Amino acid sequence: MFAADENVDFRIHVENQTRGRDDVSRRQLRLYQLYSRTSGKHIQVLGRRISAKGEDGDKYAQLLVETDTFGSQVRIKGKETDFYLCMNKKGKLVGKPEGTSKECVFIEKVLENNYTALMSAKYSGWYIGFTKKGRPRKGPKTRETQQDVHFLKRYLKGVAELQRPFKYTTVTKRTKRIRPTKPS
C-alpha cells in the first residue's frame, strides 16, 4: 500500500484542472442571488451597469450562473437583461450581451468564513467587489480578505432547480425482461 502524506495540498491540482475548459463534464445552470456582505443588498445586472443595490427577489438581482468546467469557473448572467457580468482590462465591472470572452469568466472561491469570492479568470487576483453604497470596486483595488468581495448565494423562494437531477440507469437484456411484482 501507499503511504499517505497528510500535508498534501490539493489546491494546486484543482487550480490546474479549472484553468481549461472541460468537454466531458455536464454544463450546470443555476438561478440564485448574490448577497453582498458590505452593501447588505444583492448584485444586479442592469444591462451594461452593475450594482449591489437589489432587494431580495428583485427581478434584476436574479442571476443565471453557468458552469461548464471541472471545478469552479462560472459565467454570471442577469436573468432579466440577458447581459453577462464581466470585468474589463481596467478592472471595471460591466455588463456585456455576449459572455464568450475570458473577461466574463470568474473563479468561484469558497472562503474559510463560508462566504464566496469571485476572482476574474483573466486577471488573476482581481475580484468582484462592491462598496457600502453598492457601487462596483475596480478589480486592482480588491483583495480576497476584504469584506467588499464576500458574497452569499441566496436561492429564490419557491423556485425549482432549473436542471433536473442527473439520473442514469444501466440497461441490460435481463433488466428489460423484469416484470413488475404484484403487491402481496
Distance of CA 179 to the CA centre of its chain: 44
Torsion angle (degrees, nearest 10) of CA 115, 22, 10, 36: -10
Question: Does residue 9 or residue 3 have the better pLDDT?
Answer: 9
Q: Per the domain annotation, does 13 fall within a domain?
A: no
Residues in the chain: 184
Q: Per the domain annotation, does 184 fall within a domain?
A: no
Mean pLDDT of 57-62: 93
In Å, what is the CA distance from 93 to each residue of 30, 150, 170, 177?
Answer: 21, 16, 46, 58
Mean pLDDT (the chain, rounded): 83
Q: Over the stretch 19-57, which tens digit does the pLDDT of each residue have?
A: 555 555 567 889 999 999 999 999 999 999 999 999 998
- According to the model, what pLDDT value does residue 75 have? 94
How does residue 157 score in pLDDT terms, banded at 50, 70 and 90?
A: confident
Q: Per the domain annotation, does 174 fall within a domain?
A: no
- According to the model, what pLDDT value does residue 2 have? 54
Tell me, yes or no, if the pTM score tops 0.75: no
Distance of CA 38 to the CA centre of its chain: 19
Counting residues of the chain whose pLDDT is more than 70, the rounded percentage is 69
How does residue 171 score in pLDDT terms, banded at 50, 70 and 90?
A: low
Q: Per the domain annotation, does 83 fall within a domain?
A: yes
Instruction: Give me the domain span that covers residue 107.
Output: 24-157
The domain spanning residue 41 has which CATH number? 2.80.10.50
Q: Per the domain annotation, does 119 fall within a domain?
A: yes
